Chains A and B, each alone.
Chain A
Amino acid sequence: MDSTISSLIGAAERGDRSASETLFSALYSELHRMAKRELARHGVPVSLGATTLLHQAYLDIAARDGPSFPDRARFMGYASHVMRGLIIDHARSRHAQKRGGRFEITSIGTDAGENVVDDRELTQISEALDELAKMDRSLAEVVDLKFFCGFSFAEIAAMRGVSERTVQRKWDKARIYLHHSIRPNLSL
């Protein structure tokens, strides 16, 4: 079976369910492999931003798959979803076996210990996002791109071909929904 990422994206867009599953796992192992490669290259901790990883993955895969490879915006749409999976899985495995997950989730903040997102909360966010995606896919996508992959509103707007204001509104909306699902008992 022809299983380049480009052909998988094509098939997924035509509604082929098994292709979209294969695409997910192919992208997953691709991103995972790249993260490991980065680790191996440096040998010591370096920060590895999700955005950088995605851009590199795009360049790598696009170079390999050739001119038929879809545009960045489409690629990022799929890859950001996969990136969420990658982050969640590592958070979970770290939770399960304290001694040695290979990744750690931390905030972009400059100080340690600040705003570290709890891995349980991450899992909850992901589950709530899956629910949200059933009702409004574009809202979940904005969260994947912004929260999980670190893209700015301007970048997302450019990728999606909409105004920044629209992205901001979708983000605000999605956040209300997520908050409801995750911290339902927060009193205001």
Chain B
Amino acid sequence: MSTLSPDQWQAVSPYLDQALDMPDEERKAWLMALGEQNPTLAAHLQKLLDEHRVLAQERYLEKGSVLLPGHAALVGQTIGAYTLLSPIGQGGMGTVWLAERSDGRFQRQVAVKFLSIGFAGGGERFKREGSIVGRLTHPHIAELLDAGVSSPGQPYLVLEYVDGDHIDRYCDQNKLDVAARIRLFLDVLDAVAHAHAHLIVHRDIKPSNVLVRNDGQVKLLDFGIAKLLEGEGHAGAITQLTREGGGALTPEYAAPEQVTGGPVTTATDVYSLGVLLYVLLTGEHPAGKGTHTPADLVKALVDTEPPRLSDVVSPARANAEETTTNAARRTTAPDKLSRLLRGDLDTIVGKALKKKPQERYASVTALADDLGRYLRHEPISARPDTIAYRAGKFVRRNRAAVALAALAVLASGAGIVSTLIQARTARTQRDFAFRQLTHAEAINDLDNFLLTDAAPSGKPFTVNELLGRAERLVERQHDLNDVNHIQLLISIGRKYQGQDQDASARRVLEQAYELSRRVTDQSARAQASCALGSALSTGGDPKRAETLIQEGLRDLSDEPQFVLDRIFCLARGGEVARDSGQSSEAVARAQVAQKLVEKSPLRSDVLESHTLIDLAESYRVNGQLREAVATFERASAQLASLGRDDTEQAGTLFNNWALALLQSGRVLEAETIFRRAIDISRADKTVEAVSPTMLNNYAVTLRELARLPEAADYAERAYATAQAAGDEVAINQSLLMRARIYRDKHDLARSDAMLAQVEPRLRRNLPAGHYAFGSLASERSLNALAKGDIPVAMRLGDQAVAIDEASIKGGGEGAVPLRLLLIRRSTIELAARRPNDAAADAARALRLLLAATEPGTFSSITGRAYLALANALEAQGKHNEARAAARSAAEQLQNALGLDHPETRAARQLAEADTLPQ
């Protein structure tokens, strides 16, 4: 069949949308059902979906296209003594050309590699180092013939041209068995050992750097290039990042110390060789199958023990087809391969892949010796893992968090380096980049230091203990200049704050602030005051907090080099404004910060996700729920693309996002996201470790969904956890929640008692006239209504609305609750036989709701407003209008709460009721 005509496409398009959103199993049944109604359509659809499967497998069009300037124009140009012939490769490091000597002295073809990195200092050092590496001659090392810098400042390398394939592909294509693979690998080890003997570490061993020619000869590429690139003012790890194509970190073959920023030694190459051997023997990467985000890989690298070789290839594994293929490529069957790898090879690879460099093979030669012994069936030197070794796992678990933080810093560092290279125009920009780089290194140092110097050896420790040690060490370091000292104190203080250690955070940040008054550095001054402001805001000194924020913002001039500091201060300022109820100011600050991030050349995904989360929460607190939900969605997509959607930060994001959905009446969606939030924060812990606020929010959601027993259960847990933690706000919230649940059970005496407990607590913590008192009155009115005491219910209902309206009028919060208070009052008015008032309140709530909801979304609150309106209209005798309103109510409620929800059923009943005779 040929091109789909517009008519055909329009006909099939909505079905495709549905089908593509379904899991496979579901789709099958759905297609079958469709086939009974419309066999032609179903058959057509089936064909398109089959096609889709093939296209997805082929990854059709997924490689994308890229502009590569001037290839053709360069053919025939000379670089040094070489003439360029044709482009042969394009990688993260740059373009590779096939070339030959121009002077015709040798008939030798070479590879010229242009590095996509610039050198500010003319590359003198690059040339000098190049000549040293050039002396490395070994039959298995591709010779570096020359290195230089072309006239526009582009560094290039001239290398021996190797016409070969990546080692893993070579082994697979030639179906080498395990022994043959190990023999080939021993050649690789021989080459690496030779380089180590000359004090050169490769740092980047991976299949694309280990080629095998048709004659079976192994050649290692790019020896010592990483080292060549170093020393131009970049730290090693940052270089590592920039050379991988401008910021995309692919640490698949990196050792843990390369991502945590530890020293790179020969043991680093031992680790990478271990990964390579793992892949050669099993066909799988130690971190498992599938694509990994850099963050996943780093996490796996730092704290996950790779599965044993023999387990990975075992026929017991889920993916039988793949294990069979992998075994066949090694001319064997899965069970046989598993037996071959079990024991010595498990142990050898395990030792090469130890997280701690000192636990790995002491040298590449030692690794080669053990592999030689294995081939000769002699006992190997490495011993299998012991239980004691596994006990060290706890420590490593704690390291992952720190390493991820380091990765974030490094990733933004990488962005900075490439900006520096691209935007060489303005001097200020360059200075700025250097300054940021130094700062990034200082933070990185702190993380390193937390991992090594401050970590007590051999016993478990908490992050707080670490921070305490860090604080004392920083105090004793007198050689620190003031600005660095301030920066380190701010880092420690902020980490304390992240651990909810508010008192310690305030102590350290006060110290940083005091020191900062003695320096003129704008950035240090501003950061110190804004960080302290943020810490004081939660600690009950909102006035001083606000003053500090304004002081910090004033300290910063408008020059672009302070943009990150300004963003930092605006973010802290947003927190302070939110804490003190100035929610529109919080929105304004977050918006400015977000604009700055978007415009900044230093924009990074990490920075952007922080700013978005801030902005979204400010919107939420300010009652701009539509904007809040949309922004939370963006932030969540951002976090997911960074591979950080299972972090604590994501947990908080999901909680706030779900809350915004709940407040918008999008209850079913809220439920899903709350569950994700809870799952994240209870990972590895019990449900008691989840914050009481989150538990209570979830209880509210479950109650909305009429899942009462579960709601009651979560509310009790929330209350218990809140009391244990002494969390005042959460205690109040869970008391209110319990009051509602007792009311649901018609235990009104207990419900009243709960409300009576809340009142004095609110009076202690909130200013008079706060909208929360309105909500409390409204709860009481519902209790009165349940008791049949309509006059009291009416009085309390009026009081609730009045308090809330006064709060809004005074510039405070309360806009979102008002809608609910009006709907409740409408119900009371109906019971009081005041249908006109009931209709007016319901209509008013509806107007407010419709103005605030996104078209096309459904809301339980809007549904309730319609239902209240329908009931009121019915009481007024306007049956047709009542039925229309009830239909709208049913539509809203069934989408927001589900088809079987009691309120949905009530609305449907009213909508379908026969018109009564007038």
A residues bordering B, Cβ < 8 Å? 35-36, 38-39, 41-50, 52-53, 56, 59, 62, 71-72, 86-87, 90, 94, 99-112, 115, 117, 122, 125, 128, 131, 134-136, 143, 146-148, 150, 152, 154-155, 157-158, 161, 163-165, 169, 172-173, 175-181, 184, 188
- Asked if B63 lies at the interface with its beta carbon under 8 angstroms from chain A, I say yes
**Within B597-637, which residues are at the interface with A (CB < 8 Å)?**
598-599, 601, 630, 633-634, 637
Decide: B599 and A62 in contact? CB cutoff 8 A.
yes
Nearest CB of A to B798, in Å: 41
Task: Pick the contact of A72: B65, B208, B245, B598 (CB < 8 A).
Answer: B598
Decide: A154 and B69 in contact? CB cutoff 8 A.
no
Which B residues lie within 8 Å of A112 (CB)? 87-90, 96
Task: Pick the contact of B89: A111, A125, A176 (CB < 8 A).
Answer: A111
Which B residues lie within 8 Å of A105 (CB)? 65-68
Among all A-B residue pairs, the 3 with the closest Cβ atoms = A154-B641, A43-B152, A39-B69
Which A residues lie within 8 Å of B71 (CB)? 45, 104
**Which partner residue on chain A sits nearest B630 by CB separation?**
A161
CA distance A117 to B89 in the complex (A): 16
**Which partner residue on chain A sits nearest B65 by CB separation?**
A105
CA distance A125 to B94 in the complex (A): 28
Which B residues lie within 8 Å of A87 (CB)? 65, 67
Decide: A150 and B66 in contact? CB cutoff 8 A.
yes
Decide: A164 and B66 in contact? CB cutoff 8 A.
no
Decide: A42 and B154 in contact? CB cutoff 8 A.
yes
Q: Contacts A172-B20, A175-B60, A180-B1; is A154 near B92 (CB within 8 Å)?
A: no
CA distance A45 to B79 in the complex (A): 12
Task: Pick the contact of A107: B9, B55, B66 (CB < 8 A).
Answer: B66
Which B residues lie within 8 Å of A148 (CB)? 64-65
Decide: A107 and B63 in contact? CB cutoff 8 A.
yes
Q: Contacts A154-B637, A154-B641; is A108 near B66 (CB within 8 Å)?
A: yes
Nearest CB of B to A151, in Å: 9
CA distance A148 to B61 in the complex (A): 10
Which B residues lie within 8 Å of A150 (CB)? 64-66
Nearest CB of B to A79, in Å: 13
**Within B139-198, which residues are at the interface with A (CB < 8 Å)?**
150-152, 154, 156
**Which partner residue on chain B sits nearest A46 by CB separation?**
B116
What 0/1 pattern do residues 74 to 112 of B give for CB contact below 8 A with A?
100001000000011111101111000000000000000
**Which partner residue on chain B sits nearest A59 by CB separation?**
B601
**Which partner residue on chain B sits nearest A125 by CB separation?**
B61
Q: Which stretch, B45-53, B659-667, B822-830, touches the partner chain A? A: B45-53
Decide: B95 and A147 in contact? CB cutoff 8 A.
no
Per DSSP, are chain B's interface residues mostly helix, strand or loop, or mixed?
mixed
Per DSSP, are chain A's interface residues mostly helix, strand or loop, or mixed?
helix
CA distance A35 to B62 in the complex (A): 23
Q: Contacts A45-B69, A173-B20; is A164 near B599 (CB within 8 Å)?
A: no
CA distance A108 to B87 in the complex (A): 14
B residues bordering A, Cβ < 8 Å? 1-4, 6, 9-10, 13, 16-17, 20-21, 47-48, 50-52, 54-56, 60-74, 79, 87-92, 94-97, 114, 116, 150-152, 154, 156, 208, 245-246, 422, 598-599, 601, 630, 633-634, 637-638, 640-641
**Which partner residue on chain A sits nearest B2 by CB separation?**
A184
CA distance A172 to B623 in the complex (A): 37
Decide: A179 and B51 in contact? CB cutoff 8 A.
yes
* A–B Cβ pairs within 8 angstroms, 20 of them: A41-B152, A44-B156, A45-B69, A45-B70, A45-B74, A45-B87, A71-B598, A99-B72, A106-B68, A110-B92, A111-B91, A122-B65, A131-B6, A135-B10, A150-B66, A158-B638, A164-B640, A172-B52, A176-B48, A177-B4
Which A residues lie within 8 Å of B54 (CB)? 188
Which A residues lie within 8 Å of B246 (CB)? 52
Nearest CB of A to B411, in Å: 15
Decide: A109 and B95 in contact? CB cutoff 8 A.
no
Decide: B65 and A50 in contact? CB cutoff 8 A.
yes
Task: Pick the contact of B95: A47, A181, A188 (CB < 8 A).
Answer: A47
Decide: A102 and B73 in contact? CB cutoff 8 A.
yes
Decide: B66 and A49 in contact? CB cutoff 8 A.
yes
Nearest CB of A to B14, in Å: 11
**Which partner residue on chain A sits nearest B79 by CB separation?**
A44
Interface centre among B1, B47, B90, B640 (most CB of A within 10 A): B90
Decide: B95 and A45 in contact? CB cutoff 8 A.
yes
Decide: A110 and B208 in contact? CB cutoff 8 A.
yes
Nearest CB of A to B317, in Å: 28
Task: Pick the contact of B72: A50, A104, A173, A178 (CB < 8 A).
Answer: A104
Which A residues lie within 8 Å of B55 (CB)? 175-176, 179
Decide: B17 and A180 in contact? CB cutoff 8 A.
no
CA distance A143 to B641 in the complex (A): 19
CA distance A115 to B17 in the complex (A): 29
Which A residues lie within 8 Å of B3 (CB)? 128, 131, 180-181, 184
Nearest CB of B to A116, in Å: 9
Decide: A157 and B637 in contact? CB cutoff 8 A.
yes
CA distance A50 to B89 in the complex (A): 18
